[in-house]
Amino acid sequence: MEVEALKNCQKEIAPYIHRTPILTSETINRMLGADVYFKCENFQKGGAYKIRGATNAVLQLSDAQKERGVVTHSSGNFAQALSLAAQSLGSKAFIVMPSTAPQVKKDAVAEYGGEIIECEPNLRAREAAAQSIELDTGATFIHPSNDQNVIIGQGTAALEMLEELPDLEFIIAPVGGGGLIAGTSLAVHYFGKGCKVVGAEPYEVDDAYRSLLSGKIETNETVNTIADGLMTQLGDQSFPIIQQYVDSIIRVTENDIITAMRLIWERMKIIVEPSSAVALAAVLSDKERFAGKKVGIIISGGNVDLKKLPF
Amino acid sequence: MEVEALKNCQKEIAPYIHRTPILTSETINRMLGADVYFKCENFQKGGAYKIRGATNAVLQLSDAQKERGVVTHSSGNFAQALSLAAQSLGSKAFIVMPSTAPQVKKDAVAEYGGEIIECEPNLRAREAAAQSIELDTGATFIHPSNDQNVIIGQGTAALEMLEELPDLEFIIAPVGGGGLIAGTSLAVHYFGKGCKVVGAEPYEVDDAYRSLLSGKIETNETVNTIADGLMTQLGDQSFPIIQQYVDSIIRVTENDIITAMRLIWERMKIIVEPSSAVALAAVLSDKERFAGKKVGIIISGGNVDLKKLPF
ipTM of the complex: 0.93
Is B309 in Cβ contact with A262 (below 8 Å)?
A: no
| pLDDT of the residue at B112 | 92
Name the nearest CA neighbour of A276 among A104, A29, A98, A40.
A40
Domains A2-49+149-308 and A51-146 share a fold: yes
Name the nearest CA neighbour of B130 among B119, B89, B121.
B119
A240 CA to chain B: closest CA distance, Å? 34
Do B24 and B37 touch, CB atoms closer than 8 A?
Answer: yes
Is A307 in Cβ contact with B306 (below 8 Å)?
A: no
Chain A, nearest residue to B40 by Cα: A269
Do A302 and A47 touch, CB atoms closer than 8 A?
Answer: yes
Residues of A in contact with B104 (CB under 8 A): 266
| pLDDT of the residue at B123 | 82
Task: Confirm or reject contact between A21 and chain B (CB < 8 A).
Answer: yes
* CB atoms closer than 10 angstroms to residue A186: 24
Which residue among B23, B266, B306 places its CB closest to the CB of A262?
A: B306
Is B47 in Cβ contact with A269 (below 8 Å)?
A: yes
The Cα-based distances of A310 to A56, A133, A152, A225, B305 in angstroms read 34, 36, 33, 12, 13
Task: Confirm or reject contact between A22 and chain B (CB < 8 A).
Answer: no
Chain B, nearest residue to A273 by Cα: B269
Range in A122-131, A158-167, B263-272, B285-294 with the lowest mean pLDDT: A122-131
Which residue among B272, B302, B306 places its CB closest to the CB of A309?
A: B306
pLDDT, tens only, A188-231: 999 999 999 999 999 999 999 999 999 999 999 999 999 989 99
Using pLDDT thresholds of 50, 70 and 90, give the confidence band for residue A294. Answer: very high
A190 CA to chain B: closest CA distance, Å? 31
pLDDT by residue, tens only, chain B of 311 residues: 799 999 999 999 999 999 999 999 999 999 999 999 999 999 999 999 999 999 999 999 999 999 999 999 987 899 999 999 999 999 999 999 988 887 878 888 999 999 999 999 888 999 999 999 999 999 999 999 999 999 999 999 999 999 999 999 999 999 999 999 999 999 999 999 999 999 999 999 999 999 999 999 999 999 999 998 999 999 999 999 999 999 999 999 999 999 999 999 999 999 999 999 999 999 999 999 999 999 999 999 999 989 889 99
| pLDDT of the residue at A100 | 86
CA atoms of B311 and B308, how far apart (whole Å): 9
Q: Which of residues 199-218 of B touch A (CB under 8 A)?
A: none
Chain A, nearest residue to B273 by Cα: A269
Task: Confirm or reject contact between B274 and chain A (CB < 8 A).
Answer: no
The Cα-based distances of B109 to B50, B95, B101, B210 in angstroms read 13, 8, 11, 33
Domain boundaries, given as residue ranges, for chain A: 2-49+149-308, 51-146
Residues of B in contact with A272 (CB under 8 A): 269
Is A104 in Cβ contact with B302 (below 8 Å)?
A: no
Residues of A in contact with B23 (CB under 8 A): 43
Name the nearest CA neighbour of B37 among B179, B189, B168, B150.
B168
CA atoms of A143 and A28, how far apart (whole Å): 35
**N-to-C CA span, chain B:** 46
B270 CA to chain A: closest CA distance, Å? 4
Do B228 and B310 touch, CB atoms closer than 8 A?
Answer: no
**pLDDT at residue A59 tops 90:** yes
The CATH architecture that domain A2-49+149-308 belongs to is: 3-Layer(aba) Sandwich (3.40)
| pLDDT of the residue at A78 | 95
CA atoms of B48 and B230, how far apart (whole Å): 13
Is B309 in Cβ contact with A269 (below 8 Å)?
A: no
The Cα-based distances of B225 to A140, B50, B198, B202 in angstroms read 52, 20, 20, 7
Torsion of Cα atoms, B21 then B22 then B26 then B28, to 10° = 120
Which residue among A266, A271, A311 places its CB closest to the CB of B269?
A: A271
Residues of B in contact with A306 (CB under 8 A): 262, 265-266, 309, 311
Percent of chain A surpassing pLDDT 70: 100
Burial of A15 (0-12, 13-18, 19+ CB in 10 A): exposed
B232 CA to chain A: closest CA distance, Å? 25
B171 CA to chain A: closest CA distance, Å? 22
B51-146 maps to CATH 3.40.50.1100: yes
Name the nearest CA neighbour of A239 among A266, A207, A262.
A207
DSSP letter for each residue of A9-63: HHHHHGGGS----EE--HHHHHHHTSEEEEEEGGGSGGGBTHHHHHHHHHHTS-H
Do B143 and B150 touch, CB atoms closer than 8 A?
Answer: yes
| pLDDT of the residue at A254 | 98
| pLDDT of the residue at B102 | 77
